[in-house]
Amino acid sequence: MSVIAPKFKLSEFVKSLLDNIFWVLLLMTIVGIPAVQIALFYIEMPVIHGELLTPFLALTWLADPTRLLPVIHALMATDFFRIAAFPGFGFAALLAAGTIFIERKMLAKLQLRVGPFYCGKIEGILQLMGDGLKLISKEIIIPAKADKPLFWAAPVLFVGAAAAFVALIPVAPGWVVADVDMGLLAVFAVIGFFPIITILSAWSANSKFPFIGGIRALFQMVSFEIPLILSLLGVVIVTGTLNLSEISASQSFFPWIVFLPVGAIVFFITMLAELERIPFDLPEAESEIVAGWLTEFSGMMYGLVQLGTYLKLYAFAALFVVLFLGGWNGPMVVPPFPEELLVGVEMGPVKVGPFPGLPLFDQAMLNGTFWFVIKTVGVIFFILLPRGVFPRIRIDMLLSLGWTKLIGLAFVNIFIALGLLYAGVLGPGGLQ
């Protein structure tokens, strides 16, 4: 009898394992496989070896796994995949998780400590997962006098708005969830939601510190939205479009930061304020107002807000990349796919391939994604850096910065853009 688990018996342990396997198999057969079969009727099936892959043949991947590739390929063409996985939520959440990890380690190095270290053996790489599990398992406490429906809705709305923002970002040529012509206007519209959500949650908590934090957030975001919008107008003027994909594509020779550095600087500063990053983290200033508008959130509600915050961080960094740093454009670094993969290779009597559905991604998309991620991570790094260097500023300094200096600079940027356009440097007859 062991001390840790005095009632442990090997036979019972094995029995419980077998039980679990039995139930999994049973449920898969009577629920899972029919469900997959039904779902396959709604997916456009590919043609393999001159033969249409019907849902009835779909399970032949059990015998020939390469037959799965066309199905994956078909799945990747759906909107669902774009929303949930690649340019949308999943990709952004992955980058956000990476951001949190990098932030912790970088800040720790800056402050002469080690940061997360033990969880996950290698440099605390699983710390984030541990924190997430902790947040999920914590009790959610709602203040007694809170306006409960609004209070519950606020974190969900926050993540929803952040995800909507993410959906507008083009990651690679053709890879964007919502490729709308009014892309930049849609971005402004989505950004406009955040102060409303913040003030709603602060108001509904019915508590003083969240209220002050919410008011501060409202002031801060509203006063910084105007320079934000104005600073982006320069790019719109020189490109003549609001579509983010087209803006991105227009920078194949040089990024707009070369011509519009003032706008880039203004946008970067307003971005820090919109994100409530450290020199501007007044709505969450802990030594003044506990945690600002997040004070009453607990458990996974807080976790959701944090998730939304980091999604927003990624989206803003990505927007900066798309507008000023050339988006997916960059020298081709991804090597072309080997011929054998596409036409198949003969190995004596056996001919292997070609596999229908390969390659899953084309070369331009991989290259675009690579450059996009590199640039986005770079911008995120610069967004995180001030946290270790600057103290928090005060609300009056923040407002005067937003209303006087940044708006003035944004107008300077617009004049630069107009000047470039009318002088013929850019636009028809010019460089581009």
Partner 1 sequence: MTAELPPGLALQKADERIMTLNVGPQHPGSGHMRIVVQIDGDYIVACDPDPGYVHRGEEKMAEYRNYITNIPHLERPVIHDSCNILYPYVLGAEEILGIEVPERAKYVRVIASELNRCIYTMYWLAIYGIFLGHSTMFMWPAGDRELLIDLMEKMTGARVTHAHFVPGGVRNDLPPNFEDTCLRQVNYFERRIKEYAAVFYDNPVLISRTRGTGVLSRQDAIRLGTTGSVLRASGIDYDLRVKEPYDVYDELDVHTNVMKEGDSYARSRVPWLDMMESCNIIRQALQKIPKSGSVRTKLKPNPKTKGPATVYKRVESGRGSLGCYIVSDGKPEPYRVKMSVGSFRNLIALPYLLKGEKLGNMPSVYWSLNYWPVEADR
Residues at the interface with partner 1 (CB under 8 A): 107, 110-113, 208-209, 212, 278-279, 281-282, 285-290, 387-397
421 neighbors 256 (Cβ within 8 angstroms): no
SS3 at position 52: strand
| Smallest distance, partner 1 to C-beta of residue 113, A | 6
Spatial separation of the C-alpha atoms in residues 335 and 391, rounded to whole Å = 46
Instruction: Rank residues 349 and 391 by Cβ distance to partner 1 and give the closer one.
Output: 391
Based on its alpha-carbon atoms, the radius of gyration of the chain, rounded to whole angstroms, reads 26
Instruction: Rank residues 103 and 225 by Cβ distance to partner 1 and give the closer one.
Output: 103
DSSP 8-state code for residue 175 = B
Give Cβ neighbours of residue 52 (< 8 Å, ≥ 6 apart): 45, 46
207 neighbors 273 (Cβ within 8 angstroms): no
| Smallest distance, partner 1 to C-beta of residue 280, A | 10
| Smallest distance, partner 1 to C-beta of residue 217, A | 14
Spatial separation of the C-alpha atoms in residues 129 and 119, rounded to whole Å = 9
Instruction: Rank residues 89 and 297 by Cβ distance to partner 1 and give the closer one.
Output: 297
199 neighbors 217 (Cβ within 8 angstroms): yes
Instruction: Rank residues 109 and 134 by Cβ distance to partner 1 and give the closer one.
Output: 109
| Smallest distance, partner 1 to C-beta of residue 287, A | 3
Instruction: Rank residues 277 and 375 by Cβ distance to partner 1 and give the closer one.
Output: 277
| Smallest distance, partner 1 to C-beta of residue 212, A | 7
| Smallest distance, partner 1 to C-beta of residue 404, A | 15
What are the residue ranges of helices labelled H in 325-406?
339-343, 363-384, 395-400
Instruction: Rank residues 82 and 216 by Cβ distance to partner 1 and give the closer one.
Output: 216
What are the residue ranges of helices labelled H in 192-260?
193-205, 208-239, 244-249
